[in-house]
Amino acid sequence: MITQGDDYPIHQTPEPVQQVFTSDRNFYDRFFFNGYWRDGEPYFAAAMGIYPNIGIIDAAFSVIVGGVQHCVHASRPLGVERLDTRVGPIAIEIARPMRSLRLRVDHAEVKADLVFEARAMPIEEPRFTRRANGRLLLDLTRFTQHGGYSGTLTVAGKTYEAAPARVWGSRDRSWGVRPIGPRDPAGVPDLTLPQFFWLWSPCNFEDLCTHFDVNENADGSRWHQFGALAQPDPASTPELARGVDWSVEYISGTRHAKRAQISIAGADGRTCLVELETLYNFYMQGIGYGHPKWGHGLYVGPDAADYESFRLADVKENEPLYQHIQAVCRARTDSREGMGILEMLIIGPHRRSGFKEMLDMHP
């Protein structure tokens, strides 16, 4: 079917834009944003996912302030127009591609009108490809971009003003194949112990933007790794790392970091060491990751939206729902002080971290 997208010179196959290149039900196309006031809070994150082969678009916006995480979820049938990036009270507008995007939330409990302004050029990460027992699980491209925000955020009856010098963050865009919606029951059951180790850390400083991510197998071997250093100038090409490494001091009784160190080896041979100190954790189920009702790609209704909240002090860190986090961090490198996040999802064994079972916790 011909749609508005077909008026743009962006076709990659003989099909209309509405039809993606694969019939895999797990194809997705996603926006992600996060932002943090430099004095520590609020912290917010947003996600919007489009799933053409199952006909759903969903979105979520979640913010932490005063020790409470507030979450707005929304979902609707996709329809034919993939350029309609509005889901209930949540909308994303691309004002200037790769430079400026507007994020709006109009809900009784949370309101936002925030404009992301690029601080650096988008950084393309190496393609993620992962198979299990011969079956394709992940095959996607993603870029990450550092930025600042202007606008307003209202939550818990208080309005916070944002300006790019005061509110930093990052965004990413990813698309391809990854598990979404209910698990596909077809085929031979996989009885092996699930294993996934993931660290992802974009950080902002006054005169530097750093980026790091890594996926490791249980034995510590890596199937994905990446790092980059970028100037806070959207016209400056980022410097890709020759190598990366990490160390994490885990909080007892969790799989989450108290502090961490990220090592990014630059092209000139010098190594940038980023020290991260966790202020608090943002729980990714607040924007749909693993949520039992509002999980990505789940059908919720014809045009559904809801709000929920929970106290960070009430979170049980050993429960599966709370394993996927973004730790909001103070960041330091050389004499610089900034802020960033350390996203963590660690399931199953990981020798270097001392984990041996599905969800055993650090002593």
CB 303 within 8 A of CB 76: yes
Q: pLDDT tens track of the chain, all 363 residues?
A: 899 999 999 999 999 999 999 999 999 999 999 999 999 999 999 999 999 999 999 999 999 999 999 999 999 999 999 999 999 999 999 999 999 999 999 999 999 999 999 999 999 999 999 998 778 899 999 999 999 999 999 999 999 999 999 999 999 999 999 999 887 776 777 767 889 999 999 999 999 999 999 999 999 999 999 999 999 999 999 999 999 999 999 999 999 999 999 999 998 889 999 999 999 999 999 999 999 999 999 999 999 999 999 999 999 999 999 999 999 999 999 999 999 999 999 999 999 999 999 999 999
Give me the sign of the Cα torsion angle 208, 226, 236, 95.
negative
Specify the pLDDT at position 181: 85
List the structure tokens of 78: 């996709």
List the structure tokens of 282: 């943002």
**Nearest Cα to Cα of residue 42 among 342, 282, 286, 288:** 282
d(CA 356, CA 363): 12
List the structure tokens of 321: 């729902």
DSSP character for 351? G
d(CA 100, CA 219): 41
Specify the pLDDT at position 186: 67
d(CA 252, CA 363): 5
CB 349 within 8 A of CB 291: no
Rg of the Cα atoms in the chain: 20
Specify the pLDDT at position 183: 76
**Nearest Cα to Cα of residue 253 among 315, 331, 193, 342:** 315
d(CA 99, CA 171): 11
Close Cβ partners of 102 (under 8 Å, ≥ 6 residues apart): 92, 93, 95, 113, 114, 115, 116
What domains does the chain contain, in order, with CATH numbers? 4-181+194-353 (2.40.370.10)
Specify the pLDDT at position 224: 97
d(CA 304, CA 56): 12
CA 123 from chain center: how many Å?
14
216 CB neighbour count, 10 Å cutoff: 22
CB 197 within 8 A of CB 255: no
d(CA 90, CA 99): 20
List the structure tokens of 207: 């005169």
